[in-house]
Structure 1
Amino acid sequence: MRRAISITVLSTVAGLAQADNINPFSCSDFLNFNGNQAQTNLLLNASKETLSWNWFRCLNQPAPNGLDRVWETLKPSDQVYLADGAKPTPYGAPVTLPAAVTQAAGKIPGMNLNRVFHNLNATLQVDGLPLEMGGSVPESQRGKPVRFQLLMSESTFDYIVDQGVYNMNGQQALTGDLNFPATSWEAKAGWLWIGSDTTYQAQLANDGYYIAQAYYQNQDGTYEVGYAALSALHVINKLVPGWVWTTFENVNNHSYTVTNDIPPKPMTNSTGPTPAAALVNTAFQAAYKDLSRYELIGTQLQTSPKLLANSQLESAFQSQSSCFACHGTAAYSKDDGYFNFALGGDAGQGGIVYPTDPVPASDFKGYHKLDFVWSLKRAQWQRP
């Protein structure tokens, strides 16, 4: 009992100290752990929740262009895993928007072509199902899916390019396991689509959502262009060999997203905030008003805590969601393709079950491990 109390007190004190207006944590080179991985490991061991919030704070600081936030300048996966399997353009290289997007943006008040336009090109979660919007959303958005995107840091991108695994040809040619550098980061963002509805945009802004410019392509090839509200942000990095897994949500998501029950119910998170996260949330939300409606759900190191989910990104399978265990199955075989981490048969008891404990190493015979990076599954075969 004494040990449990001491850890809780340590977490609380660390959170309060770091969330003070005179926050000693430096954001100057945080993506490279400020050049001191050992010191960052000490902070992780002292309070992983405090460190997670500091990373979140740094990611949400203004980018060098003064228009976007730092995390928005990470490279989106659709600019890495190209449809034709070609080599991607260098990190940070400007990407030309589709002409139809630029044209539509010019007709929407407030749009700035010098800011990032997020390509919200995904709606299906790991289980193959979307999360629907509902509750307080306008009738025009009711039943439509929450959208999301994947992004990566320069270290992650450089390693993928250097290893040639940005397409299926490179993954097929693998002769060993991947081993990303310690400064590798990935982010996964969940978004509520707004479009050009200024009343709805103001409502979400009032509820503390970060509003950004975005677009997506319809099945018929046309584009939707407008604004979107950030509902969730997964943030991971390889500070430790098993990666650090951290996830944030807006506290008002239950008002705008719903379950697949009939009738639908407000979508909530069953895995957190964890007790340690809740303590640190209070301090940081009070100190950083622009982030005060976001909360840390938890930070996972290996299987502690055993379950961690984001209600916007792992909606229907939160009771089986373990970032570490699921991503630990990222592997590719020349003969069998990607490792199937969904457990069937006896383990699945007639259904689908996702691993919450590490899968035995013997199950990966004939596979090359992808070092927890499942985004590689988005790679395509190179076209002649």
Structure 2
Amino acid sequence: MRRAISITVLSTLAGFAQAEGASSFDCDNFLKFGGDVTKTRALFDQGPETLTWNWFTCLNQPAASNNPNRVWETLKPSDQVYLSNGSAPGPYGARVQLPREVAEKANALGMNPARVMHNINAVQQVDGMILEMGGDVPEAVKGKPVRFQLLMSKDTYDYIVQKGVYNVNGQEALTSDLDFPPTAWELKASWLWIGADTTFQNRLQADGYYIAQAYYQENGQYVVGYAALSGLHVVNKLKPDWVWTTFENVNNSKYTVTNAIPPTPMTNSTGPTTAAAAANTSFQPANPMLSKYELIGTQYEPIPTKALITPKLLANSQLESAFQSQSSCLACHDTAAYSKTKGYFNFALREQGGIVYPTAKLPPQDFADYKKLDYVWSLKRAHWQR
């Protein structure tokens, strides 16, 4: 079955994208760029934010006819790739069986067994902090952390398995830098926890949040309920330095707060960029189910190896909350590297008695004795084989 979505063709005018007219974007095989990487690169260069929005729309199409899941929900979660015992993961399409306790609690809540159950155990952001829910939320979830998960496409997974880097043993055995294929994708999703509160769930649905089934482990027990998608990083290697793009719900400031005393609404200080705002204006009305999600920005141009007067920043308020002023997806992920003697590269840089994060590429000599991991920091989730 061929799926096409309505798009708006954008051109660059006065430094940002402007709507020119409507055409059609084919979602078939989009994770492989329709089998033509060169053509897709040319299309991207004509309007990065346009193609970014098309990808986001394709990712949010039904996975198949009569399938209740969206395309992106069928990607492989990282916890099913980097197994705790370091063993080889199973086939890409195979999913780990749900823990019995999770299945029983999901059944008691009347959840749909045909829908994905998202494992959202992660809460710690890159800087070691968590983002708390607050503001207009029920007391039961006030102060609870925003949770997240990582997912990858089949081509990303296949390369990891082929290179044997799904465990630390394989990464330590590397004799050269990694070089993922152009069709490699990774996603990072952030979630507001709902639990079984139908009133709160209905409020979030009215605010345009996508609601999914999820679980996590706490104090040795599984917590099962519903969660609302608050943000989504969408990353692929269409460009040599990868393409970094992020979306979030426009209502996030109502439900998440800063760590200030007293807490204040969490907002995004890096966007939407001018070009992203123009694309949002075009795409949101044409996509009712995504109308409350906005593109914050798209980062893809090489960053020089010296600090810029004005750094090129890009962050998601739900995923890089407290360090948005130092968040450059491309610069941070360029430091993905592993050394037999030093372990993973530490991109938390000491400066003037504090910690800063790179907003420009570090010089090559900083990576002596390291093997570069081609921007894929999710490899740090690997375990030693036991």
TM-score, reference length from structure 2 = 0.93
Task: Please say which of residues 25-34 and 57-66 is displaced more in the overlay.
Answer: 57-66
The residue type paired with residue 249 of structure 1 is E
Q: 1:49 touches 1:298 (CA, 8 Å); kept in 2?
A: yes
The aligned residue for residue 12 of structure 1 is: 18
Shift of 1:93: 1.0
Q: 1:372, 1:9 → 2: CA distance?
A: 28
CA distance, structure 2, for counterparts of residue 189 and residue 94 of structure 1: 18
Q: 1:310 to 1:303 in 2, by over 3 A?
A: farther
Residue 303 of structure 1 deviates from its aligned partner by: 5.2
Cα distance, 1:32 vs. partner?
0.2
CA distance in 2, matches of 1:66, 1:85: 32
Structure 1: how far apart are the matches of 2:166 and 2:12? 46
Deviation at 1:302? 3.2
| Counterpart secondary structure, 2:51 | helix
Counterpart-to-counterpart distance in 1, 2:142 and 2:302: 36
Distance between the aligned counterparts of 2:192 and 2:26, measured in 1? 31
1:355/1:9 Cα in 2 relative to 1: closer, same or farther (>3 Å)?
closer
Q: Give the AA of the match of 2:360.
A: D
The answer (yes or no) to whether the contact 1:190–1:233 under 8 Å persists in 2 is yes
Give the distance between the partners of 1:224 and 1:113, measured in 2 at CA. 17
Using the TM superposition, give the Cα deviation of residue 270 of structure 1 relative to its aligned residue in structure 2, in angstroms: 0.2
- Counterpart position of 1:341: 347
Residue in 2 that maps onto 1:89: 90
SS at match of 2:215: strand
Partners of 1:173 and 1:205 in 2: how far apart? 48
Equivalent runs, 1:156-171 vs 2, <5 Å: 156-171=156-171
Partner of 1:25: helix, strand, or coil? strand
**More strand by percentage:** 2
Distance 2:362 2:62 in 1: 40
Identity of aligned residues (%): 66
Task: Extract unaligned runs of 5+ from structure 2.
Answer: 1-10, 304-310
CA distance in 1, matches of 2:113, 2:180: 34
Q: Any conservation in 2 of the 1:302–1:325 contact (CA below 8 Å)? A: no
Q: In the alignment, is residue 292 of structure 1 matched against residue 298 of structure 2?
A: no
**Separation of aligned partners in 2, 1:207 and 1:328:** 36
Deviations 1:103-133, CA, capped at 9 Å, x for gaps: 0001113x11111000001000000010000
How many pairs are equivalent? Answer: 368
Offset of 1:43 from its aligned partner? 1.5
Letter in 2 for 1:26: D
User: Which is richer in helix?
Assistant: 1
How far 1:66 moved relative to its partner? 1.4
Q: Tell me the SS of whatever aligns to 2:216.
A: strand
Do the aligned partners of 1:8 and 1:276 also contact (CA within 8 Å) in 2?
no
Aligned to 1:160, the other structure's residue is in SS state: helix
| 1:160-212 alpha-carbon deviations (Å, 9 max, x no partner) | 00100000110111111000011000000000000100000000000000000
Q: Tell me the secondary structure at the aligned position of residue 245 of structure 1.
A: strand
Distance across 1 between alignment mates of 2:134 and 2:302: 33
Counterpart for residue 146 of structure 1: 146
Corresponding residue number in structure 1 for 2:34: 34
User: Where does residue 325 of structure 1 map in the other structure?
Assistant: 331
1:363 paired to 2:358: no
Tell me by how many angstroms 1:10 deviates: 6.6
Q: Which moved more, 1:39-48 or 1:71-80?
A: 39-48
**Alignment correspondent of 1:103:** 104
Question: Does the 8 Å CA contact 1:167/1:379 hold for their aligned counterparts?
Answer: yes
Q: TM-score normalised to the size of structure 1?
A: 0.94
Q: What is the CA-CA distance between 1:9 and the residue it aligns to?
A: 7.3
Runs of 4+ that moved beyond 4 A: none
Match status 1:314 vs 2:313: no
Secondary structure of 2:374's counterpart equals coil
What secondary structure does 1:341 align onto?
coil
Amino acid in the other structure paired with 1:181: P
What is the CA RMSD across the aligned residues, in angstroms?
1.3
2:338 & 2:188 partners in 1: Cα distance? 22
Aligned partners of 1:74 and 1:151 also within 8 Å: yes
Query: Aligned AA for 2:101?
Result: A
Name the SS for the 2:316 alignment partner. coil
Change (3 A) 1:8 1:101: farther
Partner deviation per Cα, 1:30-64 (whole Å, 9 max, x = no partner): 00001111111111111100110000000000002
Q: Offset at 1:8?
A: 3.9
> What are the equivalent positions in structure 2 for 1:171-210 lying under 5 Å apart?
171-210=171-210
What do residues 235-262 of structure 1 show as CA deviations (whole Å, max 9, x unaligned)?
A: 0000011000000000000000000000
Query: Paired residue for 2:114?
Result: 114
Shift in alpha-carbon separation, 1:280–1:170, aligned structure 2, 3 A: same
Which AA in structure 1 matches 2:300?
Answer: L
Distance 2:108 2:229 in 1: 23
Distance 2:161 2:328 in 1: 28
Listed as ranges, the gaps of 5+ residues in structure 1 are: none
Question: Counterpart of 1:163 in structure 2: which amino acid?
Answer: K
Counterpart for residue 238 of structure 2: 239
The amino acid that maps onto 1:280 is: A
Helix, strand or coil for the counterpart of 2:42?
helix
